[in-house]
Amino acid sequence: CPAVLAPRSSSVAMPPPADIVKVAIEWPGAFPKLMEIDQKKPLSSIIKEVCDGWSLANHDQFALQHADSSNFYITEKNRNEIKNGAILRLTTSPAQNAQQLHERIQSSSMDAKLEALKDLANYSRDVTFAQEFINLDGISLLTQMVESGTERYQKLQKIMKPCFGDMLSFTLTAFVELMDHGIVSWDTFSVAFIKKIASYVNKFASDISILQRSLAILESMVLNSHDLYQKVAQEITIGQLIPHLQGTDQEIQTYTIAVINALFLKAPDDKRQEMANILAQKQLRSIILTHVIRAQRAINNEMAHQLYVLQVLTFNLLEDRMMTKMDPQDQAQRDIIFELRRIAFDAESEPNSSSGSMEKRKSMYTRDYKKLGFINHVNPAMDFTQTPPGMLALDNMLYFAKHHQDAYIRIVLENSSREDKHECPFGRSSIELTKMLCEILKVGELPSETCNDFHPMFFTHDRSFEEFFCICIQLLNKTWKEMRATSEDFNKARERLGFSFSFPCPPQVMQVVKEQIMRALTTKPSSLDQFKSKLQNLSYTEILKIRQSERMNQEDFQSRPILELKEKIQPEILELIKQQRLNRLVEGTCFRKLNSRRRQGTAQPAFYC
């Protein structure tokens, strides 16, 4: 009789089904319950089961919430976020809780009212509770308390100042949290409410929490409603905001810059330059440089983002000039070109109308415009009819000629004395460089909601873009010489690619210059002089060395045999990793829990068995 082989029992327990999560549930005054939650069952059935275990009636008035610091309610929408080993709490339902708090914040007792507002500020972070409280017209109740209710307590402010400050702070915090859920439109608020919030920016400058919430509310009003932008702009001035930047609290500084950015962003096009002039008069750039960027503390991510937004909005003021074509018939614009010629070749060389014929004057002008590097030697105004960069290129050239006159004259005369095939045409190079700098700085684009890439050096000068151009045009001239670029090389390169003769420099030159600029910007120089020094160390030879080094580091891993091998063994490796993770979970282990700041906290057990 053949032996019957009994199935071998496995010593390793199987993991629980995917729809079952093991949790602990707390209830005040009772020992926590350990139970398995079937995610396929309705949440109401699970709550009823928990209530029955503690002999609690009216299970529809109860709910489950996370027992961590968030205290968020568990709903059918978010229940899949419950993890094995989670600790939950049985508590009153969101509707019941909202009704109770709605009544408590209207208590005649100051202490009871204060405690209720504190709880409301905490619960309002949860969208489930927020919806229930808003359904009770809770937002209107809070705005009424801000508009008129707080005035009843201002008489007691001298003797109960801490209590009054805390009460107002919790009221504003609850309001901000409720509005952040996007359930209620910002267009519903009265002028009286806006005036009250704006007054807090001045009245409670010493109360950090009230000031912070007030600034946050003003920012949201401006960003979310065109009508409210106009009302806020009438109530709050840049002069009222500037003092908050001169303090030491970075959070207040961040909210202040956020309000300025919001006003700047939502301002009509015809008002934006006017606002920029006011900011310049109030020396905003200098104040930010001194009290924020160069303060003896690290800049956090939110502050970096607001500085980036301000940087983008400031450079976007150049968009109008960038997209403006030159009018060849506009004498004022033509005079700028005359001024460039005068500075470069000196007015003394110009013949007067009595001694020189008109033809001789035209001939001399044509010769000088060719030396200046324009494409159209007869009428250079035609060079600035392409947008971008439009008139912005001419503005940069004039700024360079006036504020860095020696460098301007040196570049023009140096190239005009070379052989034609080795000259670096200043005019055409300036046009192409201006266009490239606008692309690098994304002039005309709206700021990203997540980017925090601001550059401290742009806050060190009132004309930072023009100074940026002045440094880069000298770099371009230097790189041109180092690469021994020629007009013939440029023409051949363009003919091969099928381009017309509308670009001033060999593409290789502009590519190298862009790489030099981008690599220098990546180091985040603290000043324009430091940026210039970084460029000095990034010569054409150095760029070639860096490229070669990077290529050598990449070739070993990007070669075809390596890529083919990687593609072949990747499925096997991924399967091995998957099995290793499953084995680890079955055996059970402890993991370090990362908090919101990504710092390791205490070890948390994984409830796998």
> How far is 279 from 238, CA to CA, in rounded Å?
7
Tell me whether residue 126 is in a domain. Answer: yes
CATH number at residue 142: 1.25.10.10
Q: Are residues 194 and 288 in the same domain?
A: yes
Q: Is residue 579 part of a domain?
A: no
Is 380 within a domain?
yes
What's the rounded mean pLDDT across residues 213-218? 96
Question: What is the distance between the alpha carbons of residues 406 and 474, in angstroms, rounded to a whole number?
Answer: 12
Q: Provide the number of structural domains found in the chain.
A: 3
Q: Does 87 share its domain with 102?
A: no
User: Are residues 55 and 134 located together in one domain of the fold?
Assistant: no
Same domain for 114 and 148: yes
Please check the confidence at residue 488 and state whether its pLDDT lies above 70.
no
Q: Indicate which CATH number applies to the domain containing 42.
A: 3.10.20.90
Do 127 and 57 lie in one domain? The reply is no
Domain end marker among 44, 60, 92 = 92
**Residue 180 CA: distances (Å) to CA of 102, 143, 173:** 19, 15, 11
pLDDT tens digits, one per residue of 318-352:
999 999 999 989 999 999 999 999 999 975 455 55
- Whether 161 shows a pLDDT value over 70: the answer reads no
Average pLDDT score, the chain: 86
- Mark which of 92, 117, 152 sits at the end of a domain: 92
Its domain, for residue 84, covers 20-92
User: Are 207 and 227 found together in one domain?
Assistant: yes
The stretch 126-152 carries a mean pLDDT of 88
Q: Is residue 161 part of a domain?
A: yes
Q: Does residue 591 lie within any of the structural domains? A: no
Nearest to 400 by CA among 387, 389, 409: 409
Query: How far, in Å, CA of 583 to CA of 587, rounded?
Result: 6
Residue 601 lies in a domain: no
Residue 38 in any domain: the answer is yes
Both 59 and 114 in one domain: the answer is no
In a domain, 128, yes or no: yes
Residues 117 and 59 in one domain: no
Residues 135 and 188 placed together within one structural domain of the fold: yes
Kindly state whether residues 133 and 184 are assigned to the same domain: yes
Lowest-confidence range among 87-91, 437-441, 586-590?
A: 586-590
DSSP 432: H
Q: 223: which residues sit within 8 A by CB, 6+ positions away?
A: 262, 265, 266
Q: Assess whether pLDDT exceeds 60 at residue 602.
A: no
Same domain, 106 and 62: no
Q: Are residues 339 and 449 in the same domain?
A: yes
